[in-house]
Amino acid sequence: MSLYVDTSALMKGYVDEVDSDECESILRNDRQWITAEHTFVEGQSVLGRVLEGYDLADALDMFVANWSSMVVVDLDHETSKRAAEYAVALKVRALDALHLAAAHRAGAPRVPFVTYDVRLAIAARALGWTVLGG
């Protein structure tokens, strides 16, 4: 099995937050992680906002190293088109719509969707998807 993992879930492995232990348990149970291309930028942006110094450098190094083991969904025109449809229909933010479209392309609803973003979890559930985390 695989898991679609959004940025909010991935960051729990680099930043000690509420629900980090729960998230790490979910992710440990299935090491086949799928995410979208924009997660590469979004994740590093989050780390840059919440960490500094050696903690930031270490987290960035780990994130980039781990990136190569993830299955990354390309944000091609069809995926972007579906994201735009989700953005309008579900009234979600652009980056969230991109996660939803990428997860759809990766096999959702058969592939569980891991998120700790409440609004994104609500949108994924509205699509009838299995949501782990949030």
CATH code for the domain of 21: 3.40.50.1010
Q: How far is it, in rounded angstroms, from Cα 90 to Cα 103?
A: 15
Query: Considering the chain, what is the average pLDDT of its residues?
Result: 96
Q: Considering only 14-18, 83-87, 102-106, which range has the smallest mean pLDDT?
A: 14-18
Site of tokens 């930043």: 15
Write down the pLDDT at residue 99: 98
Q: How far is it, in rounded angstroms, from Cα 22 to Cα 42?
A: 22
Write down the pLDDT at residue 30: 84
Average pLDDT over residues 106-116: 97
Q: Is the pLDDT of residue 73 over 90?
A: yes
Q: Is the pLDDT of residue 22 over 80?
A: yes
Q: Is the pLDDT of residue 5 over 90?
A: yes
Those residues whose C-beta lies under 8 Å from the C-beta of residue 116, and which sit 6 or more positions away, are 8, 9, 12, 19, 23, 133, 134
Average pLDDT over residues 10-27: 93
Burial class (CB within 10 angstroms; exposed 0-12, middle 13-18, buried 19+) of 66:
middle
Task: Give the pLDDT band of residue 31 (cuts 50, 70, 90).
Answer: confident
Could you tell me the residue range of the domain that residue 36 belongs to? 3-133
Write down the pLDDT at residue 81: 98
E strands present in the chain: 3-5, 33-36, 71-73, 113-115, 131-133
- In tens, the pLDDT along 38-71 reads 999 999 999 999 999 999 999 999 999 999 999 9
Write down the pLDDT at residue 29: 87
Count how many domains the chain has: 1
